[in-house]
Amino acid sequence: MEELLLYPVFVPMVCGVIAYMMGKWKKGMRDMFVSTAVGLELLLVLTLLTNPEMEGARLTIEGFCGLALSLRDGQFHTLMALLTATGWFTATIFCKEYMPHVQNQNRFYLFWLITLGATIGIFLSADLFTTFLFFELMSLTSFVFVIQTEEPEALKAGETYLAVAVIGGLCTLTGLVLLYAQLGTLSIEQLGYAAANATNRKELWVAGILVLVGFAAKAGVAPLHIWLPTAHPAAPAPASAVLSGILIKTGIYGILVLTTTVFLYDVAWGALMTGLGIITMVLGAVLAVCSIDIKRTLACSSISQIGFILVGTGMVCLLGEHNVLAADGTILHIVNHSLIKMMLFPIAGIIHLTSHTYDLNELRGFGRNKPLLAVVMFIPMLSLSGLPSLNGYVSKTLLHESIVALIHESSVPVSWVLTGVEWLFLFTGGLTFAYMMKLFFCLFVDKGNRNWTSNGEYMAEGSTAMLLTYSTLLIMFGLMPNDTMDTIAAFARSFLSGAMPNHEIAYFSWVNVRGSLYSLGIGAVIFIVVVRKLLYRKGIYYDPIPQKFSIEMGVYRPVLKFLGQLFIVVATLVDCLPFRLLSQTMPRCIDIWLTGLSHIRTYLASKLMGEEQMTHSNVEQVADDYHFAFYDDKPQKPIGFVHSLAFGLMLTGFGLCFCLAFILLHK
């Protein structure tokens, strides 16, 4: 039965190749085939979920890629696989509407399906080695999503994406090599035990940080988030949806594995995660508030939400064994963010289909007579902002509660810091509300210059159905959290070492609602003061952050370029030095010596015999034969000797002389 685990990973990859060949022949058939393949994938994952025999099943193929391929079913793994398959399914439905406007669809669908298989492989992996294999595959194949349109921006974004993927991947690989050498295993089940018994924590940390770099870069953790804001606007909308909704979660998966195994309950690691989380959370939100491109706003929002998830991860570590709130919050926020972004990015795509722009200033008033669009956009926006009665509220409340719980547990100086964290958390929640309102006002309230009165359909039936289903789901999850969201959390919780909670959480108690209201209140103030007053002048939104002012353009690219040049210059020097010494300095010395010698001889001869004597011609003049001494394009070049057979033989001669000297001296 375990072989069943291989199907969801490898079936889509095979289907991808088939779809590619099919597409060369008949396009309509390929589209049908891709939809069927993704539907089949969803069924396969559901089989894993529902088949009782598969509960906790494991599959190991020894020797795969040098170590082993091992997959497992159950808990968090299946949940994430299900989320992936669902997300891909909805995005594929949306592809039908969006992709006909994009060139090179064949290529896109090939990589679309391979990436699906690889992503499922990451989530089902039972050891970090397998995770890494699929992670690299996914990184490289999803590169095609980013560069798909081949616009200049896409080429540039692709460059960044590929660089981050390759550098991050190599860091992770280095870390894994060190980890495997230290602990002797990479299996998720055994890593925790092995790490607890490890003698040298310092080396473990080096390895851990290196592994973290690759995963964090993929997840979009600051300061490695650089690829997100450029890659998302460049990719076709369905691809941005899965990039943001699912692919960045693979990085989170890797971070969670590290957190719950190698650094289980490690306070320093928890603090690091929380710190990174806060920076990412605030930075992403600020960028999103400033952005004037709808897709860029959503991408920055993803960065910010990853920050929330990381704070939760930090809390999982810091709270020790009573971390159920944090564990549930982290898992549910992953799920919620994925669901919400799977709605918002397709909506952005739909807007682009009609308007051919993502620019907020051009889009003003786009949705003024499109009530359906307003509803399906408003629900996920509010949900992400954490309005009670929607699903985003549930996970944010859990995360908030876990911070509060930690404040109660810790002593005075630490608890002050944590209170600061709590307020930053609420403040960022406010920022979320502010940038979402900015989008909403821009699209549905402002009056634009262009006339957007739609003549006909602006949304295909498939997409409408999909968005309405998702909206219902969000509301249902939000209204009945104890029946729905808690069940999901309970299913996946043990992966994060969360124990059973003592009692059901009262999500709609005043204490919890109050937190959300604070956050929304802050958001409303920021929206009115900052967005409407400062960033909106004379009817135009403008971005206060100059385009050149980015960590990528300012730091990473110059540093990498400099290092590359440095390597080249130093290597060139080292490369030339011994050869120059041998080939130019030595012949020149010999030359000078010979000339000197002949001068002396001439002098002596004239002194002794009293007459002028012709000097003999030197070696080079004797060997003035084209094929004996000069082999360059310009004959008579003074260093031609170096390129000659004579020189090669001279080197041999040196070798033999050394040899002779050796033998004589040694005997």
Partner 1 sequence: MSAFWLVASILLPILGGLCSMTLHHTNTRRWFASVLLVVELFIVAILVPQYTGQLVLLKLTGGIRFVLQVDGLGRFFAPLICMIWFAVAVFAYEYMNHEGHKERFIGFYLMTLGTLMGICFAGNLVTLYMFYEAMTLMSVPLVLHIGTPKAFHAAYRYLGFSVAGAGLGLLGQFVLQNYCTTDLFTPGGVLDVEAVAEHSTLLFVVFVVMAIGFGCKAGMFPLHGWLPVAHPVAPAPASAVLSGLITKMGIVALLRVVYYLYGWEFLRDSWAQKTILVLSLLTIILGSSLAMREDTLKKRLAYSTISQVSYVIFGLMLFHPIALAGALLQVLFHAIAKNTLFMATGSIIYKTHLTQVSQMRGVGKSCGITMWCFTIASLSLIGIPATGGFVSKWYLTQGALHGIEKTWAWIGIGVLMISALLTAGYLLPIVVDAFFPGKNFDVSALKKQEDTWLMWITLCLLTAMTVIYGVMPTLLNHWIHPIIQSLF
List residues binding partner 1 (CB under 8 A): 62-67, 132-133, 136-137, 140, 147, 149-152, 155, 158-159, 162, 166-167, 169-171, 173-174, 177-178, 180-181, 564, 567-568, 570-572, 574-575, 578-579, 627, 631-633, 643-645, 647-649, 651-652, 654-656, 658-659, 662-663, 666
Cβ of residue 206: shortest distance to partner 1, in angstroms? 9
- Cβ distance to partner 1 smaller for residue 553 or 659: 659
Smallest gap from residue 180 Cβ to partner 1 (A): 7
Return the number of the residue (204 or 406) whose C-beta is nearest partner 1. 204
Q: Report the distance separating Cα 290 and Cα 301, nearest Å.
A: 11
Nearest residue (CB) to partner 1, 136 versus 328: 136
Long-range contacts of 144-147 (CB under 8 A, 24+ apart): 144/107, 144/108, 144/111, 145/108, 145/111, 145/112, 145/115, 145/235, 145/236, 145/239, 145/242, 145/243, 146/231, 146/234, 146/235, 146/239, 146/243, 147/234
Complex with partner 1: residue 499 or 569, whichever CB lies closer: 569
Q: Do the Cβ atoms of 77 and 130 come closer than 8 Å?
A: no
* Least distance to partner 1, CB of residue 384, Å: 33
Nearest distance in Å: CB 171, partner 1? 8
Which residue, 61 or 528, has its beta carbon nearer to partner 1? 61
Nearer to partner 1 (CB atom), residue 181 or residue 604? 181
Place of tokens 């896109």: 108
In the three-class reduction of DSSP (H, G, I as helix; E, B as strand; rest coil), residue 119 is classed as helix
DSSP string over 271-303: HHHHHHHHHHHHHHHHHHHH--BHHHHHHHHHH
Helix (H, G, I), strand (E, B) or coil at 506: coil
Nearest 5°: phi and psi at 537?
A: -120, 135
CB of 145 to partner 1, least distance (A): 12
What is the 3-state secondary structure of 134-187?
A: HHHHHHHHHHHHHHCCCCHHHHHHHHHHHHHHHHHHHHHHHHHHHHHHHHCCCE
Q: Is the CB of residue 281 less than 8 Å from the CB of residue 421?
A: no
C-alpha Rg value of the chain to the nearest Å: 33
Closest Cα to residue 492, out of 266, 311, 259, 256? 256
Residue 653 beta carbon to partner 1: minimum distance, rounded to whole angstroms: 9
Q: Rank residues 16 and 523 by Cβ distance to partner 1 and give the closer one.
A: 16
What is the rounded distance in angstroms from the CA atom of residue 395 to the CA atom of residue 358?
A: 30
Residue 218 CB, nearest distance to partner 1 (Å)?
15
The residue (of 194 and 331) whose beta carbon lies closer to partner 1 is: 194
Nearest to partner 1 of 542, 579 (CB atom): 579
Taking the complex as a whole, the smallest distance from the CB of residue 656 to partner 1 amounts, in Å, to 6
527, 433 Cβ separation under 8 angstroms: yes
Least gap, CB of 276 to partner 1 (angstroms): 23
Taking the complex as a whole, how short is the minimal distance between the CB of residue 305 and partner 1, in angstroms?
29
Residues 6+ apart with CB under 8 A from 612: 606
> Of the two residues 581 and 600, which places its CB atom closer to partner 1 in the complex?
581
Cross-strand bridge partners of residue 364:
none
Look up residue 326 and give its two tokens. Answer: 């944090």
CB 458 within 8 A of CB 349: no
